[in-house]
Amino acid sequence: MKRTLFTLALVAAFGLITESAFAQATATQSVTLAVNAVYKISTSGNPGALTISNGSAGSDNLTAVSDNSTTYSITQNFGNTVKITVHMDAALTAGYTLQMNLASTQGTSLGNVDISNATSGSAVDVVTAIARGADAGQTIGYTFSALASAGTLSSTTKTVTLTLTN
């Protein structure tokens, strides 16, 4: 009988030790996740001065000048209907033309787009159908042309605004 009581006491003690060795506590959390629409666009800086100083005898069209030294980058997660529009702070006088060309691997570049008269109320598309994702280090090209009949143009600075929009 003593042996049975000893065995039962030993089993009970072992059960308590084993149970406390494997004791666990848990806690739970609810995590709320969301991703908002992200529209980001940046440029690498300003292009060099576009100064026309040559032409051909007998032609009203002066020799156009270009600059492809800057780039832009975008990130967007909204949809495939996103585009880049461009406008200037003020239109150019008749006889002067500024064209812009944005390269794109995520959308459709519209090539050389005349932005001479594009102001905040009349922005023009330069890249359309931009897919979700990122487009980094894409070339920005400017071409400035003028007619001799338009006369000279004192050095002037135009602010060109690129907008990523749907």
Q: Is 32 within a domain?
A: no
Which CATH number fits the domain that encloses residue 131? Answer: 2.60.40
For residue 133, CA distances in Å to 75, 93, 136 come to: 6, 38, 10
**Domain count of the chain?**
1
Q: What angle do CA 118, 150, 113 make, to 5 degrees?
A: 30
Q: Is 100 within a domain?
A: yes
Q: How do residues 121-131 score in pLDDT, each as one tens digit?
A: 999 999 999 99
pLDDT band at 25, cuts 50/70/90?
Answer: very high
Q: Is 87 within a domain?
A: yes
Q: Which domain holds residue 60?
A: 39-165
Paired sense of beta strands 124-130 and 82-88, if any: antiparallel
Q: How do residues 106-144 score in pLDDT, each as one tens digit?
A: 999 999 999 999 999 999 999 999 999 999 999 999 999
pTM of the predicted protein model? 0.82
Q: For residues 50 and 65, what is the distance between their CA atoms, to the nearest angstrom?
A: 6
Q: Is 8 within a domain?
A: no
Q: Check residue 23 and give its pLDDT.
A: 86
Q: Is 12 within a domain?
A: no
Q: Is 21 within a domain?
A: no
Contact 18, 25 (CB under 8 A): no
